[in-house]
Amino acid sequence: MHRLYRSLPLMFVLSLGLVPVVQASEDEKIMDYMPSLITETPLEGRKLAMKMVRKTIGAIQPDPAIKMAVRLIYQDDPQLLLYSAELVALEFKTIAIANDYWR
């Protein structure tokens, strides 16, 4: 559980700015970028985990200018980069379990 608390600073930095409530209109088509957690290989699972983290951050902070400004903060901070990797690892763990560890 303490890992989640260590990830909070990164989540805060990435969510700077106003967080809009995202609601899809009936006319809007939403692309399902994750129709399933099942993947053929662990590498595909890892790529899916990275995509899930990117999409989550994009939903939290949709403004590209703010994301770029925040990137300038965390690109030089190894601890914040490690928090990013930790978020991917958490998503990958979920995917690995869903795939029965590719046995």
62-72 tens-digit pLDDT: 999 998 898 88
Q: What is the CA radius of gyration of the chain?
A: 15
Q: Residues 15, 20, 21, 25: what is their CA dihedral angle, to the nearest 10 degrees?
A: -130
8-50 tens-digit pLDDT: 565 555 554 444 444 444 445 567 888 899 999 999 999 999 9
72: tokens are: 């300038």
82: tokens are: 């490690």
Please tell me whether the overall predicted TM-score, pTM, comes out greater than 0.75 for this model. Answer: no
